[in-house]
Chains A and B, each alone.
Chain A
Amino acid sequence: MVGRAHTPRPAPDAPTSPAKSGLPVARVTLWGLAVVVPLAFLVVFFAWPVLTLVGKGFVADGHLDLGGFGEAFSTPRTWRIVGLTLGQAVLGTAASVLLGVPGAYVLFRCRWPGRGLVRALVTVPFVLPTVVVGVAFRSLLVEGGPLGFLHLDGTFTAIVLALVFFNYTVVVRTVGGLWARLDPRAEQAARALGASSWRAFRTVTLPALAPAIASAASIVFLFCATAFGVVLVLGGLQYGTIETEIWIQTTQFLDLRTASVLSVVQLVVVAAVLLVASRTRARRERALSLGSDRASDRRLRLWGRGPDGTRSALGGDLVPFVVTAVVVVVLLATPLVNLLVRSLHVDGAWSLANYRALGSTGDRGALSVTVWDATWNSVRIALVATAIALVVGGLVALVVSRRPRRRVGRRAVATLDSLFMLPLGVSAVTVGFGFLVTLDRPLGLPVDLRTAGLLVPIAQAVVAVPLVVRTVLPVLRAIDPRLREAASTLGAAPGRVLRTVDVPLAARSLGLAIGFAFAASLGEFGATSFLARPDAATLPVAIFDLIGRPGQGNYGMALAASCVLAALTAVVMLAAEQLRGERDGGEL
């Protein structure tokens, strides 16, 4: 068998002067960079602008003035707004998670024809500009509309439904991304021990999914708590939230005193939520047994087998399937189909005229560029934003996925994780206005970033980074550390371990993260609209311009352009799904 003489691996000589501290300089430098680069990004493009603007509200005539708190908290409206913010965020999150987990199962764990298409479809709402969602939802719900009989227009329920419409995909993808890779044998073992499928799910699968669910829930909560356009359009001022109030106080009244108080309240709420979420995640943190997702896929099987061999609705996938079908068809597809049908109607008859008009600049030149030009602008900006988000978010996920030996280190890592979630929970108005008062000379450099084109993708990246982190992190964390150790003992340097273990295993989620970041950036309108931006209309801006003007052609074009945006998103997500890291035996 092994006939040849034994020649052990050439002994790498011990360093001539062993560093007693233990860590080699290069490694410290690299990890240092991995921490410093994202942190610098966060400080310059988030923390500093926000703190500066909030600070302005607390300084009157050069003195610290905290009187705004007393005033704000003595107003019943403030309390009502805080209550409504929490209420709609909690309900929106709960509904998204409850409906999203079965969705994650059906769309990521089960195999059935058309799955990829539906996966892409559920992402579409996430990126539609609120103004379009407003049209899609309200024209359904309005008195005399197809669903007018439900009398949901202007109700709290409508807001919560719209929040689910937006955020369903966040839960489905974040949870599904992990679920698809979960080793099914643990659950099979539980089933073999006599657990019902529900019990096996509850006691084995659900705890394993907990980090991803906590991840998704915290993102959704932040999205819901800072939902702006959708609340305004669907709920009106009586359902005002902290976010809408900050917007009014800042953009309409320039009352920074009140706005700053509200911003602090928002920060406190967000920080509290992030703390709870990070605790939940930490407690559930563990190395999961991850398999290849192809291996753990299983065919969708609607019916279970009863003890007597008869068909039973309980054991099979019927319940999650029905829940998912209802959500996808009624809640997600109906408004989108409504949008599509309307875009294909001109003067009450079917027509492609609205789509043909996309090559023009609108009725009597409502736009400065054609919709196709705007689409190209959007794609270009989204590419830059995605690249930034991927680098920054990837580094953050990488750093946060490590478990330092010392508790101080572990705590620092958890803090870093939460810090990068903050942009989702802080008002886009505050960030946008903060940019104005800080980025005229960022870090003292003689560069006015405020009016530079690059600020738009940067602002979008700030929002996309948490999405990247939350998508990649659960998978990175679930990699058994001993797998990396095995690679190390085989001679792989840390960089190579990263390249040959972490990256290929996280690649699937990296694909999702790219899709997410790209789609989010493509549809981003909130943060962008508060920036001073060069006259290069993006698709959402063009849609906003079109729908902001009267005229038959413009409205129809806005709907058609929305459908283009939706289709573009779907294509991007479909493509992202193809970015698999399952190349056999190869190294990336």
Chain B
Amino acid sequence: MQHTTGRRARSTTLAAGTTAAVAALTLALAGCSSDDDAKAAPSSAGSSASATGPVTLVTHDSFSVDKKQLAAFEKKTGITVKIIKQGDAGQLTNQLVLTKDSPLGDAVFGIDNTFATRAVDAGVLADHTPADQPSQAAQYAVDGSDGKQQLTPVDYGDVCLNVDHAWFTKKGVAEPKTLDDLTRPAYKDLTVVENPATSSPGLAFLLATISAKGEDGYLDYWKALKANGLKVDQGWEDAYYTDFSGADGKGPRPIVLSYSSSPAFTLSKDKSSTTTGALLDTCFRQVEYAGVLDGAKNPAAAAKVVDWLQSTEVQSTIPDLMYMYPVNPAATIPTAWKKFAPLATKPLDVPAADITKNREAWIKAWTAAVVG
């Protein structure tokens, strides 16, 4: 009799325990962000409120910022920055478009010029122009339909073909210089590039060829490249580290699609020279932007974070942390970059709006022509 009751009691305890566990889990889930909400509430009351409190900065996987600088910024302004990373520039932009009605955060960094107008057209961003934006930066800014700046440029760089100096020296072959050189028999089976459908430098290079050859000619150019033994990899890592002869992977091909800054990372032992070089006539310029998200809970503080990304102190860390050139001319640039990683003087360019309009069609046409 007694043990019967005992068993019953235990069953009930177990049931109660499970309920408690579910409740605890719910609370734990709630606890993860409830403090954010609580703190955000007062500051979101109006843009006139003081720009403090939590800011969620949504960014791509390659974002990196100096920890000490961030701590100093937070201390000075009373803003706490929560960094959320997700995928590459394309994924980031598309996720922001999808979550337009319920934004993931307050500010964004990492939308590039190939996705810029998609984000702007979708109404993902709020108007914001940094008060002391350098004029050199302003030339890259992207405006919304009302003519007010929405995307604030932070950094830029060139996607260019890179060559392995050592390989060409050893083989006694002259290095290529132009896009057309690559279709010559002397460079058969030597080039590896990235797929524009799956890689952001790949897309940049496709746009470079469209800029250079025109919409009518670029597919023929690619067919010629293919006929000359072009290899297409899915990602930069794969092309640079597995197929390229000038990197640590010691692959078989001496011409690779990378960045104009890459040669600064292949210095000789005494650091007096670099073993690779960029072909500056093959470059497409990528610009990365920051902005305040439309519907942000804390827009005033978000704007401050965007401004901060353009500040001289942050800009000076960009080459080392994000491998791009700062848009702020006052920022310092490493000596190795000045020496070995110059930017193209006349990069190939396609207007952002055209990219947004045609991206899918161009990539599909490219896929049909090159991949089949």
Do A and B touch (CB < 8 Å)?
Answer: yes
- Which residues on A are within 8 Å of B, measured CB to CB? 10, 12-13, 26-27, 29-30, 33, 37, 131, 134-135, 138-139, 142-144, 232-233, 236-238, 244, 247-248, 250-255, 347, 363-368, 433, 436-437, 440-442, 445-454, 493, 495, 529-535, 541, 544-545, 547-552, 555-556
13 further interface pairs, Cβ-Cβ under 8 Å (given A550-B240, A550-B258): A138-B242, A142-B242, A232-B198, A365-B66, A365-B320, A366-B64, A447-B32, A450-B104, A451-B104, A454-B28, A548-B61, A548-B236, A550-B266
Chain B residues, CB < 8 A from A252: 90, 94, 197-198, 363
Given A534-B83, A545-B61, decide whether A446 and B37 contact each other with a Cβ distance below 8 A.
yes
Please name the residue on chain A nearest to B240 by beta carbon.
A550
Are A550 and B262 interface neighbours, CB within 8 A?
yes
Chain A residues, CB < 8 A from B223: none
Are A33 and B249 interface neighbours, CB within 8 A?
no
Minimum CB–CB distance for A497 against chain B, Å: 12
6 A-B residue pairs with CB within 8 Å:
A26-B8, A135-B249, A233-B238, A236-B371, A440-B102, A550-B323
Question: A451 to B29, alpha carbons, bound, how many Å?
Answer: 11
Digit string of B74-105 for contact with A (CB within 8 Å is 1, else 0)? 00000000111111101100110111001011
Are B87 and A251 interface neighbours, CB within 8 A?
yes
Chain B residues, CB < 8 A from A541: 61
Please name the residue on chain A nearest to B19 by beta carbon.
A33
Chain A residues, CB < 8 A from B90: 251-252
Given A33-B18, A451-B33, A550-B258, decide whether A12 and B237 contact each other with a Cβ distance below 8 A.
no
Please name the residue on chain B nearest to A244 by beta carbon.
B198
Given A237-B198, A448-B33, decide whether A365 and B64 contact each other with a Cβ distance below 8 A.
yes
Chain B residues, CB < 8 A from A364: 320-321
B contacts with A, residue count (CB < 8 A): 82
Are B91 and A251 interface neighbours, CB within 8 A?
yes
Given A26-B15, A251-B87, A493-B7, decide whether A233 and B98 contact each other with a Cβ distance below 8 A.
no
Question: A486 to B255, alpha carbons, bound, how many Å?
Answer: 73
Are A449 and B104 interface neighbours, CB within 8 A?
no
Are B15 and A555 interface neighbours, CB within 8 A?
no
Are B62 and A545 interface neighbours, CB within 8 A?
yes
Are A550 and B1 interface neighbours, CB within 8 A?
no
Q: Indicate if B241 sits at the interface (CB-CB under 8 A).
A: yes
Question: A437 to B234, alpha carbons, bound, how many Å?
Answer: 28
Are A440 and B248 interface neighbours, CB within 8 A?
no
Are B252 and A26 interface neighbours, CB within 8 A?
no
Are B323 and A454 interface neighbours, CB within 8 A?
no
Question: A446 to B94, alpha carbons, bound, how many Å?
Answer: 24
Chain B residues, CB < 8 A from A550: 240, 247, 258-259, 261-262, 265-266, 323
Please name the residue on chain B nearest to A388 by beta carbon.
B25
User: Which of B37, B66, B86 is in CB contact (< 8 Å) with A531?
Assistant: B86
Minimum CB–CB distance for B124 against chain A, Å: 12
Given A447-B34, A533-B84, decide whether A144 and B197 contact each other with a Cβ distance below 8 A.
no
Please name the residue on chain B nearest to A13 by beta carbon.
B1
Please name the residue on chain A nearest to B261 by beta carbon.
A550
Q: Indicate if B372 sits at the interface (CB-CB under 8 A).
A: yes
Are A451 and B30 interface neighbours, CB within 8 A?
no
Question: A252 to B323, alpha carbons, bound, how many Å?
Answer: 23
Chain A residues, CB < 8 A from B4: 12-13
Digit string of B17-58 for contact with A (CB within 8 Å is 1, else 0)? 010001000101110111011000000000000000000101
